[in-house]
């Protein structure tokens, strides 16, 4: 990994949620304990269908009385529209606010120094700092997300111009993959319950809060031993890039799919690193193949466990 990566994350979108009932409303919709989220704090979170399948995973940040969801731009309009359907008479306003900020990812062993140069101190994991209208969120593992007003973005880029590597969504996605953070995109919506994608292992699921869509299924999966798939880190050599939603296969399951690619990105040393949700039996055998039973071999590099930098 570069000592300091600065990445343009314009592929992300922001959804703002405000109003007297915003905290209670979101608490009743999302997988995490939004009611306990204080100003200046953030959490990984998910939103499920009534069947307990993830429609989105995202970073949720609270700034004062406003909540900001950071999620892929390709699914943001649909998520905002669907959320609005549940507002009913609640005093809640849901607005896409992507135009208010430029999203910049900062990662690497020297990332904290870059952040401290502007914000005075690097925020701890799942905490934020604000200065001159710009917000920086600590994600843990030497990763930070900066939300910068467009007028201030050029100056911010100049400040970070000495970074060893300038990149974009692919370079940043690789750091997320290494941290074990799943990103649901259009191709994987409703493919996984939260535990399949290890959302519980990165602190994105509360099992003590009240009801939310799909909560009964998520709880049953947790407490009745019904989880047969988990997410692992894998590597694929060569030039065949895995795609989100692509099936993987194992000798233990023959022609039947044994799992699904969640996210993938080019690896610095060549090939691709990917997060893959697969049958536990196939993960233990380590014989996953991409696309077909005789497709390219996926090397399992980390089995399901609490990932480094996942906060």
| 245 and 158 in a common domain | no
| Secondary element (H or E) of residue 94 | strand 93-96
Bridge partners, 235 (sequence order): 273, 299
Domain with residue 253: its CATH number is 2.40.30.160
- Residue 263, domain member (yes or no): yes
pLDDT at 311: 32
pLDDT at 171: 93
Using alpha carbons, list the distances in angstroms from residue 132 to 50, 60, 152, 153, 156: 41, 21, 9, 11, 11
| Secondary element (H or E) of residue 111 | helix 111-119
Separation CA 41–CA 52 (nearest Å): 26
- Residue 310, domain member (yes or no): no
- Residue 308, domain member (yes or no): no
Three-state secondary structure call for residue 175 = helix
Asked whether 101 and 150 are in contact (CB, 8 A), the reply is yes
DSSP state for residue 150 in the 8-state scheme: G
- Residue 309, domain member (yes or no): no
| 91 and 158 in a common domain | yes
| 193 and 174 in a common domain | no
| 112 and 43 in a common domain | yes
The structural domain count of the chain equals 2
Using alpha carbons, list the distances in angstroms from residue 232 to 83, 181, 215, 263: 30, 11, 24, 11
Asked whether 144 and 136 are in contact (CB, 8 A), the reply is yes
pLDDT at 160: 67
pLDDT at 159: 65
Q: Would you put residue 226 in left (φ > 0), alpha (ψ -120 to 50) or beta?
A: alpha
- Those residues with Cβ within 8 angstroms of residue 43's Cβ, 6 or more apart along the chain or in another chain: 32, 33, 34, 37, 59, 60, 126, 203, 204
Domain with residue 125: its CATH number is 3.30.1360.120
Note the helical H segments in 160-305.
169-179, 215-223, 280-285
Rounded to two decimals, the pTM is 0.93
Whether the CA torsion 279, 46, 2, 244 is positive or negative: it is positive
| 150 and 198 in a common domain | no
Pick the last residue of a domain from 179, 212, 246.
179
| 162 and 46 in a common domain | yes
Pick the last residue of a domain from 161, 179, 197.
179
Give the range of the structural domain holding residue 268, as residue numbers without chain letter.
186-302
Separation CA 211–CA 67 (nearest Å): 20
Series of mean pLDDT values for 10-residue runs along the chain (311 residues)? 82 97 98 97 98 98 96 98 95 96 92 89 96 94 95 77 72 96 98 97 94 95 86 95 97 93 96 97 92 96 62 32
């Amino acid at each position: 990994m570069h000592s300091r990566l600065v990445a343009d994350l314009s592929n992300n979108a922001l959804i703002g949620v405000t109003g007297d009932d915003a905290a209670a409303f979101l608490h009743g919709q999302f997988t995490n304990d939004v009611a306990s989220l204080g100003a200046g704090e953030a959490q990984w979170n998910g939103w499920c269908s009534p069947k307990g399948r993830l429609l989105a995973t995202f970073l949720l940040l609270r700034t004062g009385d406003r909540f900001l969801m950071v999620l892929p731009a390709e699914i943001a309009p649909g998520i905002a529209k669907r959320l609005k359907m549940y507002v009913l008479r609640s005093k809640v306003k849901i607005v896409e606010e992507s135009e208010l900020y430029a999203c910049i990812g900062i990662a690497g062993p020297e990332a904290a120094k870059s952040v401290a140069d502007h914000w005075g101190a690097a925020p701890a994991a799942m905490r934020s700092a604000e200065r001159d209208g710009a917000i920086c969120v600590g994600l843990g593992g030497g990763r930070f997300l900066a939300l910068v007003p467009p007028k201030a973005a050029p100056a911010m880029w100049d400040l970070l111009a000495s970074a060893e590597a300038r990149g974009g969504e692919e370079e940043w996605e690789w750091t997320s993959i290494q941290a074990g953070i799943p990103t649901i995109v259009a191709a994987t919506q409703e493919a996984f319950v939260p535990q399949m994608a290890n959302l519980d292992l990165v602190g994105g699921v509360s099992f003590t809060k009240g009801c939310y869509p799909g909560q009964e299924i998520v709880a049953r999966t947790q407490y009745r031993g019904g989880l047969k798939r988990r997410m692992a880190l894998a590597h694929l050599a060569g030039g065949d890039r895995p795609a989100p939603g692509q099936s993987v296969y194992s000798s233990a399951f023959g022609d039947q799919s044994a799992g699904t690619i969640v996210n993938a990105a080019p690896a610095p040393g060549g090939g691709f690193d990917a997060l893959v949700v697969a049958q536990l039996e196939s993960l233990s055998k380590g014989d996953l193949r991409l696309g077909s039973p005789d497709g390219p071999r996926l090397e399992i590099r980390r089995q399901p466990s609490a990932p480094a930098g996942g906060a």
